[in-house]
């Protein structure tokens, strides 16, 4: 399997597993450099790299920028320049970094965040529930549909219930237990109030439950009701900042400053390292470590 096919296969695997990562692709390379246009790598939140976007020095710059992209969720064009490279001012969507350890040349790398699609948990086998599942998928949501069971709410941005009395209370409880920020019940105002009242929720939990759910658009058909519900969910996400519950936070990669070139490096098992007289040092490449070792031994 070629390197590009390995990266593509890994991308598919991570997307399927809903793991966030950044796909870094070399789009331009100036000689002398080891990278070539089309070279690609995957950078995960722990700073691990799979693939190739240049030597150790260039890779370090790409990793640091990729973590910013993963955090911000916006794509970035990164230009990595040698110390005497031409100026390349930052612009919206583009960033230039000077890496004094490059052997020459420069590379431009497109950093594309690959973030898991927001998940909707839909309960019910009604025409409205079916329309919610269909339209939600078309809008790019990942759909977790339980036609005849309690909501599978874990990791969902919203729980939407259209089940005509089946599993309503239990699904609302499942959503609250999973700390979902938006729970929508398709029901008349009177029946919805009765269902919610039966749960004896405190005010903060009650604020999460929307019943009757959906923006007022005069909806009559199942499809129109689904449209109004998804419009309210979209508004909650885009305008009000609704997000899915966060899992256990990942430990941020440790950063260190290379004492020779001044580059910021991410500390990992393959980062060049030196322990000297009780102090630990990390380097962007083995050349800096060798030079520092010689200076310390003088």
Task: State how far the Cα of 151 lies from the Cα of 132, in Å rounded to an integer.
Answer: 14
| pLDDT at residue 65, rounded to an integer | 92
| pLDDT at residue 219, rounded to an integer | 94
| pLDDT at residue 89, rounded to an integer | 62
Task: State how far the Cα of 67 lies from the Cα of 82, in Å rounded to an integer.
Answer: 21
Pick the CATH number of 119-238 from 3.30.70.2500, 3.30.9.10, 3.40.50.720, 3.40.640.10: 3.40.50.720
> b vs e for 166-199, b when ≥16 Cβ sit within 10 Å of the residue's Cβ?
bbbeebbbbbbebebbbbbbbbeeeebeebbeee
pLDDT along the chain (298 residues), means of 10: 80 87 92 87 90 86 91 91 68 81 81 92 96 95 93 93 93 95 95 93 95 95 97 95 71 76 77 84 82 82
Neighbours of 282 (CB within 10 A): 22
Residue identified by tokens 């490096």 is 265
The boundaries of every CATH 3.40.50.720 domain in the chain are: 119-238
| pLDDT at residue 274, rounded to an integer | 85
- DSSP characters for 161-208? E-STTSSHHHHHHHHHHTT-S-EEE-S-HHHHHHHHHHT---HHHHTT
Q: Coil, helix or strand for 260?
A: coil
212: cis peptide before it, omega within 30°? yes
| pLDDT at residue 232, rounded to an integer | 97
Residue 25 pairs with which residues in a beta bridge? 40, 110
32: cis peptide before it, omega within 30°? yes
Which stretches does DSSP call E strand in the chain?
21-30, 40-44, 49-51, 76-81, 94-98, 106-114, 119-123, 142-146, 158-161, 183-185, 209-210, 255-257, 264-266, 273-276, 279-282
Cβ-count burial of 94 within 10 angstroms (0-12 exposed, 13-18 middle, 19+ buried)?
Answer: middle
| pLDDT at residue 245, rounded to an integer | 84
| pLDDT at residue 247, rounded to an integer | 55
| pLDDT at residue 192, rounded to an integer | 93
């Amino acid at each position: 399997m070629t390197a590009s096919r390995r990266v593509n296969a890994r991308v598919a695997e991570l997307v399927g597993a809903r793991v966030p990562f950044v796909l870094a692709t070399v789009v331009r390379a100036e000689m002398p450099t080891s990278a070539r246009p089309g070279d690609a790598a995957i950078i995960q939140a722990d700073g691990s790299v799979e693939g190739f976007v240049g030597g150790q020095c260039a890779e370090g710059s790409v990793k640091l920028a990729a973590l910013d992209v993963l955090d911000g969720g916006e794509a970035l064009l990164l230009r990595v320049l040698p110390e005497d490279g031409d100026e390349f001012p930052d612009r919206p969507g583009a960033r230039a970094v000077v890496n004094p350890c490059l052997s020459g040349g420069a590379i431009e790398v497109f950093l594309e965040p690959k973030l898991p699609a927001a998940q909707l948990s839909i309960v019910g086998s009604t025409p409205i529930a079916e329309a919610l599942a269909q339209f939600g998928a078309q809008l790019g949501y990942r759909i977790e549909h339980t036609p005849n069971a309690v909501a599978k709410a874990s990791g969902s941005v919203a729980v939407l219930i259209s089940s005509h009395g089946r599993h309503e209370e239990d699904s609302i409880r499942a959503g609250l237990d999973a700390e979902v920020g938006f729970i929508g019940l398709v029901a008349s105002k009177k029946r919805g109030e009765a269902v919610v009242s039966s749960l004896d929720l405190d005010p903060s939990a009650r604020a999460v439950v929307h019943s009757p759910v959906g923006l007022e658009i005069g909806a009559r058909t199942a499809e129109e009701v689904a449209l109004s519900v998804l419009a309210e969910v979209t508004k909650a996400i885009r305008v009000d900042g609704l997000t899915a519950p966060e899992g256990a936070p990942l430990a941020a990669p440790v950063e260190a400053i290379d004492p020779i070139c001044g580059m910021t490096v991410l500390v990992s098992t393959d980062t060049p390292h030196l322990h000297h007289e009780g102090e630990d040092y990390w380097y962007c490449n083995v050349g800096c470590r060798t030079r520092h070792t010689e200076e310390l031994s003088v």
